[in-house]
Amino acid sequence: MKAVLLHYGKLLLSSLLLFLAVLTVLFLLLEIAPGDPVQSLIGDNPVSDEFRAQVTAAFGLDRPIWERYVIYIANVFQGNLGYSFGSSMTVSELIMSRIGNTLALALPAFVISTLGGLLIGAIAASTRSRWLDGGMSGLAVALFSIPNFWLGLLLIMLFSITLGWLPVQGKGPYGSEGISPEYLILPMLTMATSELAYKARIMRSSMIESLGQDFVDTARSKGLSRNQVLWRHAMPNALLPMVTVSGYSLGFALAGSVVVERVFGWPGMGLLLLDAIQRNNNQVVLGVTIVITISILIINILTDVVYGLVDPRLRARFSSKQGSAA
Amino acid sequence: MSSTPKLDTEALATASRAAEAPPTGYVKTRPGGKRRESVWRGFFRKPSTIIYLGLIAVMVLASFVGPLFAGDPVATTHPQFLPPSADFLLGTDHLGRDYLARVLAGGQVSLLVGFSVAILCMTLGLIIGGVAGFYGGFWDTALVKLAEFFQVLPGIVLALVAAALLGANVWIIVVILSITMWPAVARIVRAEAMRIAQLGYVESQRAAGFKSLRILISDVLPNAMPPVIVATTMTVGRAILIESSLAFLGIGDSNNPSWGALLNSAQSYMATGWWLALFPGLAIFIVVLAINMLGDSLNDALNPSIGKVK
C-alpha cells in the first residue's frame, strides 16, 4: 500500500512540476514576443504619457519581471486566467462555455477510434490470410497518412456539397441551442480516423507480440478453440500498450481538435484558441493552452491508474516490498 | 518516473519495442560490415522500396525542378476557376493563377520543412539521447524530464502559440517543429545507447583506455542507427503533416504558401472549385504515405525480428 501511495505521490509531484514548467515557458514566450502590450491596450489613439503610465501601472506592467511571474503563477493556481476584453467575460467563463462542445466531439471520437483500432488491429494480427492482414495494415497506414483536415474537406465536399446529406458547418441549425446529431457526424468521424489508424497499428504489433508468447502456446495445446485463445488469452495481454496509447491519444485529440474544429466551424476550445490568436488576445491564448495542458496531465495520471489496475504484474510489484515504480 | 511507458508516435512504439528486444538491432560489425551491406542491398532490391522511393523522388523533383517548366505561380492573367484541362492540368484558382504552378511551388515549402525538421530532430536526438543513455545518472534524469515536458505540451498547440507570437517564416516553423518533435528520436537513441553501453565490446573499449566520448561517437551511436533511421523517416512524414495543419490554420509564411496554406484558401471555394481542395491534399497524402510505407519497410529490413509471428 505504501508503495502505491509513494508511486502516485511521485506522479502527482512530477505532473505539478511539468505544469509549472509549461506555465513558465508560456510566460517567457509572451515576454519575448514582439509587440507592446500597453500599446495594444490603448489602441492606436494618441495619448498622454501620464495616461500610458496609468495603464501600465493598472495592469502591473511596470513591476519587475519576476514579480509579474509570481503574480501570474499565483493567479493561475487560484483559477484566475484573466479577463477577455473582446467578449467581456473572464477567460475561465469563456473556456467553460466552449469545453463541452470540444468534449462532445472528442469523447465519441475516442470511443469509435479505440474500439475500431482494437478490432482492426486484432484481426490484422491474428488472421492467417496475408491478403486480409496486408489490406488492413495498408488501410491503417493510409488513414494515418491522410492530413486530417483534408479528409474533413473531402467529406464535406462529398456528403454536404455534392450529396447534400449532411450540414457543412456548425453544431446545429442557426439560432438553436445544443448540438444536433447530424452536425456531429462528419467532424466526429474526421477526428476518429487518424486516431483509429494509429491505434490499429499499435494493437496489431502488440497482438502479434502477445500471440508469440509461451502462454498462448500453452492455451493452444490445452485444446482451446482459436477464438478462445485469441480473445480470452492473447487479447487481454495485448491490451496493455493500448491503455497507454489511448490515454495519450485522448490528450492529443483535445489538442488536435483545433484542426477539426476549424474545418467544421465547430465552436469548441480549438476554435476559441484560433480566434484568440488571430485577434492577439493573449489572455485567452494562454488560458486555453493552460486548460489543454491540465487536461492532458490529468488524463496521463488517469492512464497510469488504469494501467496499474489492468496489469496484474504491476499490482503484484506494488504489494511486494521493493515495489516502487521503475 | 511513472511506470507507464510514454509513447507518442507509431515509430516510437515499434522502434522502442525494437530496442527492448535484446538480440536484434545490434550487429557486431561496424557500419559497412558485411551483414549490414546485405541488409541494405536486400532493402533496395525490394520492388516496394523502389516504388516508395520513386514516388518521393518524383514529388521532390516536381517541386524543385518542376517550377522551372511550369508557369508563373503568381501571375493572375488567366481566367478564374478553370477546371483541370489540357492547358491547365490542375485548373486555375480564384484569382486566375495556374494551380499546377502553385501546387509545385507549395511542395517546396512542405518538403523543405519536412526534411529539415527530420534532420534537426535526428541531430538533437542523437546528441541528447546519446548523452542521456550512455552517461546515465544526472544527465539521464534531466534530459528525460526535458523530453517529457515536450510530450506533455502537445506540439501542435505549442507550435501554434509560438508561431503566432514569434511570427511565422519557414525557418521559425522548422525550429519550432524540431523543438517539439525531437523527443521521439531521442527516446529511441537513449534506449539503444543504454543497451549498447552494457555490451561486452564497449566494456573492452573502456578497458583499452578509450575515452568515453570517443566510444559514444564511434561505437555506440553507429550501432544505434537502425531504429533511429526508421524514426527519422517517420519524422519527415509527421513534420509535413503538422506543418500543413499549421498552414491550414493560417500559421505560416504567407509569401511562400505551402500545401496546407493552399488548402486554407481552398476551403472558401469548395463548392465552386473542387480541384482547389483536392490536389494539394492529394500531394501531401502521396508524400506522407510513401514516407510512412518506406519507414515501415525500413523497419522490417533493419529490425528484422519485429512484427513477425513466430
The 10s digit of each residue's pLDDT in B20-58 is: 444 444 444 455 455 666 777 777 777 888 888 988 988
CATH number, residue B193: 1.10.3720.10
Structural domain that includes position B206: 50-72+90-302
Name the residue with higher pLDDT: B25 or B289.
B289
pLDDT for res B12: 45
Grid coordinates standing for A103? 468534449
B61 within some domain: yes
Q: What domains appear along chain A, each with residue ranges and CATH number?
A: 37-80 (no CATH), 95-325 (1.10.3720.10)
The DSSP result for A3-25, as a single string, is HHHHHHHHHHHHHHHHHHHHHHH
Nearest CA-CA partner of A145 in A106, A191, A187, A198:
A198
The pLDDT profile of chain A, 326 residues, written as one tens digit per residue, is 677 788 888 888 988 888 888 888 888 887 777 666 666 666 667 777 787 777 777 777 777 778 888 888 888 888 777 777 666 778 888 888 888 888 888 899 999 999 999 888 888 888 777 888 888 888 888 888 899 889 998 988 888 777 878 777 777 676 667 777 778 888 888 888 888 888 888 888 888 888 888 888 888 888 777 777 878 788 888 888 888 888 878 887 887 788 899 888 888 888 888 888 877 777 788 888 888 888 888 888 888 888 877 776 766 665 654 444 33
Task: Name residues 10-49 of chain A within 8 A of B (Cβ).
Answer: 10-11, 14, 17-18, 21-22, 25-26, 29-30, 32-34
B7 within some domain: no
- At residue B303, the 3 state secondary structure works out as coil
CB contact under 8 Å between A148 and B148, yes or no, is no
B83 within some domain: no
Grid coordinates standing for B110? 512542405
Chain B touched by A292 (CB under 8 Å): yes
B16 within some domain: no
Q: Within 10 Å of residue B255's Cβ, how many Cβ atoms?
A: 9
Distances (CA, A) of B162 to A30, A95, A291, B171, B180: 9, 20, 17, 13, 11
Cβ contacts of A189 within 8 Å, gap of 6 or more? A109, A112, A155
Across the interface, of A10, A11, A285, the residue whose CB is closest to B161 is A285
B30 within some domain: no
B198 within some domain: yes
Name the residue with higher pLDDT: B300 or B51.
B51
Nearest CA-CA partner of A34 in B251, B164, B28:
B164
Residue A157 distance to chain B (closest CA, Å)? 7
Chain A touched by B249 (CB under 8 Å): yes
Give the CA-trace dihedral at A154, A157, A163, A164, to 10 degrees.
120
Helix H or strand E segment including A83:
strand A83-84
Chain B residues with CB under 8 Å of A256 CB are 154, 156
Chain A residues with CB under 8 Å of B161 CB are 26, 29, 277, 285, 289
Chain A touched by B304 (CB under 8 Å): no
Is the Cβ–Cβ distance between B276 and B266 less than 8 Å? yes
Q: B21: nearest CA in chain A?
A: A209
What is the average per-residue pLDDT within B53-81? 79
Task: Name residues 265-294 of chain B within 8 A of A (Cβ).
Answer: 266-267, 270-271, 274, 277-278, 280-281, 284-285, 288-289, 291-293
Chain B residues with CB under 8 Å of A277 CB are 160-161, 164, 251
Across the interface, of A25, A147, A212, the residue whose CB is closest to B241 is A147
- Phi/psi of residue A203, nearest 5 degrees: -60, -40
Cβ contacts of B90 within 8 Å, gap of 6 or more? B84, B98, B99, B100, B103, B275, B279
B117 within some domain: yes
Scan for cell 537513449, then name that residue: B190
Cα atoms in the Cβ-side hemisphere of radius 13 Å centred on A93: 8
pLDDT for res B105: 83
B295 within some domain: yes
CB contact under 8 Å between B160 and A258, yes or no, is yes
Cβ contacts of A242 within 8 Å, gap of 6 or more? A114, A117, A118, A199, A202, A203, A206
Name the residue with higher pLDDT: B19 or A284.
A284
| Radius of gyration in angstroms for the set of CA atoms belonging to chain B, rounded to a whole number | 22
- In one letter, which amino acid is A42? I
pLDDT for res B284: 92
Name the residue with higher pLDDT: B237 or A93.
B237
**Is B170's pLDDT higher than 90?**
no
Domain count, chain B: 1
Q: Which residues, listed in sequence order, are joined to residue A84 by a DSSP beta bridge?
A: A89
Q: Within 10 Å of residue B280's Cβ, how many Cβ atoms?
A: 32
Nearest CA-CA partner of B10 in B184, B239, B153:
B184
**pLDDT tens-digit series, residues B110-125:** 999 999 999 999 999 9
Cβ contacts of B164 within 8 Å, gap of 6 or more? A277, A285, B251
pLDDT for res A35: 64
